[in-house]
Chain A
Amino acid sequence: MRNVAILGVGMTHFGRLEDDDIIDILSSASIRAIDDAGIDSKEIQAIYVANMGAGIMNHQTAIASALADNIALLPAAADTIENGPASGASAIKNGVLAVASGYFDFVLVVGGEKMRGVSGWRATDFVATLTHPYAEYIYGVTLPGMAGMFANLYMEKYGYTQRHLAMVAIKNHRNGMLNPYAHVQMDITMEGILDSPHSVVNNSPVATPLNLFDCCPVTDGGAAVILCPEERVREFGKPIVRVAGFGQATDTHTLAERDDPTDLKAVTLACKQAYERAGITPQDISFAELHDAFTILEIAEAEHSGLFEKGEYKKALEAGEVEITGRLPINPSGGLKSRGHPVGATGVAQVVEATLQLRGEGGLRQIRNAEIGLTVNFGGFGNNVVALVLRRVS
């Protein structure tokens, strides 16, 4: 197997992309990645498109074929990868395997979602279709509802309060203010979302104990990477960012059936595999992009990925250790909380951010001494998780 590197990255703005359909979004992100790589697009042999909901929300299927046509990549092989909110990292994993195996040299992986063309009720229902159809979905449960039930247990077990959740939101909004691609460009304060009498209006409950600012927005957007064998990166004069390892694990479909519903086993296993394949330990990680669709998930993933002991993330939040300037920055991009969560795009956007950080192209949010980055893309409610380790190669 060959080492695989990221040759180019590209993103659309995340937000409400009113004039763009799903193919426009995928095309824009792809063209930016191709241009960033400096590659002649005729060299691209395969395309993996990460998407969860075009068939339901946009009434369009077979979007990988449509994309290949629209950006003139014919006759490249093209597949759509659907793995719920972890579709992005799943598509990257498949692209990495395709290059590592030697079947293809240049692969485009692009994730995208067009979610704001439907009402909030429809988007909420669409995402809820990933829950168990007979044991969860029928009751009207939503993903915030699943996260609320999880948060109730996790907060009690490990001593977290709504103040800790708010600290995650405030940090990620502050980071997002430094990210020109981020959906929510809004600085928020503890006063505004928790302490003042107006906070109940500003930060109304979505699914107890989670409030509005504990939840990611519904977002349109796309993100793309070009993968190639590591030994070919120098031909393009680009810095080498290696996909050093990946891991993927599944867990029970229903939250209720887990022996301990607070134990995100798939996160732990996926990260462990990724570290082992990369030949590192969690202590070697310089920064991480975690799947904070809900603030509680940043906390729980940080503690299940081995970056922090269980219950210890609160101390890191309080000490500023996970700020951009801290010892171990978490979600320098603003995370899903601020950058937004176009579900199929998120896993790819995490890798785009990690690549920019490792290249030293993070702009105002650039962290110091970025050597090794971790991304965690959380599918379902933790029933399919993909972790990736990216490493800068001198």
Chain B
Amino acid sequence: MKIKNKKAYKCINCGRVTYPKRVACLGCRGREFEEVQFTPECTLLTFSQIFQLPWGVNERFLTIGICQFDNGIKAMGRITTPDVKKGMRMKVHWQIFREMAGEDVWGWVFEPIPSSL
């Protein structure tokens, strides 16, 4: 599967960071960007433990959340455990986490840092 979610971008004109990629900057409509690296840790902003899952997800439940990386980028990802709280520090993993239509899917997986709360 084509990987389109690994990189964030910073507008060269106004500095606004965008994730995922888009053609024009939401801040100034600029069209030139430079890549921004994700940080190895982030903070959990919100999450939900989802019990009624869509077709194609063969789990009993999923915990999915939105984290803010230490450079300000925000992104959704899977969380390794439902035992989490908002504000928790998370370790960031970029990994294969499921298969769709026979292809590996890469994305963000967040793992709580136990001592963070």
Q: Does A148 contact B (CB under 8 A)?
A: yes
**Contact, CB under 8 Å: A138 / B55:** no
Q: A152-B47, A207-B49, A256-B75 are in contact. List 20 more A-B contacts (CB 8 A).
A: A120-B52, A124-B52, A124-B54, A125-B54, A134-B20, A140-B57, A140-B64, A141-B64, A141-B76, A142-B54, A144-B50, A145-B50, A148-B48, A149-B65, A153-B45, A206-B51, A208-B49, A255-B76, A257-B74, A261-B45
- The digit string for A187-216, where 1 denotes a CB below 8 A from any CB of B, is 000000000000000001111111000000
Q: Give chain B's interface secondary structure class.
A: strand
Which residue numbers of A lie inside 8 Å of B, CB to CB? 119-122, 124-125, 128, 132, 134-136, 138-142, 144-146, 148-150, 152-153, 156, 204-210, 252, 254-257, 261
Cβ–Cβ < 8 Å partners of B105 in chain A: 138
Q: How far is the CA of A207 from the CA of B4 in the complex (A)?
A: 27
Cβ–Cβ < 8 Å partners of A128 in chain B: 54
Beta-carbon nearest neighbor of B100 in chain A = A138
A-B contact pairs, 6 of them (CB 8 A): A139-B78, A141-B76, A146-B48, A148-B49, A255-B76, A257-B74
Cβ–Cβ < 8 Å partners of B20 in chain A: 132, 134-135, 254
Q: How far is the CA of A125 from the CA of B52 in the complex (A)?
A: 10
Complex interface residues of chain B between 84 and 109 (CB less than 8 A to chain A):
86, 97-98, 100, 105, 107
Cβ–Cβ < 8 Å partners of A150 in chain B: 46
Q: Which 10 A-B pairs have the closest CB atoms?
A: A148-B48, A125-B54, A121-B55, A134-B5, A140-B57, A256-B74, A125-B55, A145-B50, A134-B4, A124-B54
Beta-carbon nearest neighbor of B22 in chain A = A253
- The digit string for B16-59, where 1 denotes a CB below 8 A from any CB of A, is 00111000001000000000000000000111111111111101
Shortest beta-carbon distance from B117 to chain A in Å: 15
Cβ–Cβ < 8 Å partners of A136 in chain B: 76
Cβ–Cβ < 8 Å partners of B11 in chain A: none
Q: Give chain A's interface secondary structure class.
A: mixed
Q: How far is the CA of A144 from the CA of B57 in the complex (A)?
A: 15
**Contact, CB under 8 Å: A139 / B54:** no
**Contact, CB under 8 Å: A140 / B50:** yes
Shortest beta-carbon distance from B3 to chain A in Å: 8
**Contact, CB under 8 Å: B50 / A256:** no
Cβ–Cβ < 8 Å partners of B78 in chain A: 139-140
Cβ–Cβ < 8 Å partners of A257 in chain B: 18-19, 26, 74
Beta-carbon nearest neighbor of B53 in chain A = A140
Q: How far is the CA of A134 from the CA of B6 in the complex (A)?
A: 9
Cβ–Cβ < 8 Å partners of B77 in chain A: 139
Q: How far is the CA of A224 from the CA of B26 in the complex (A)?
A: 37
Given that A140-B62, A141-B64, A152-B47 are known contacts, is A254 also in contact with B52, CB under 8 Å in the complex? no
Shortest beta-carbon distance from B64 to chain A in Å: 5
Cβ–Cβ < 8 Å partners of A210 in chain B: 48
Given that A140-B62, A256-B74 are known contacts, is A204 also in contact with B51, CB under 8 Å in the complex? yes
Cβ–Cβ < 8 Å partners of A204 in chain B: 51
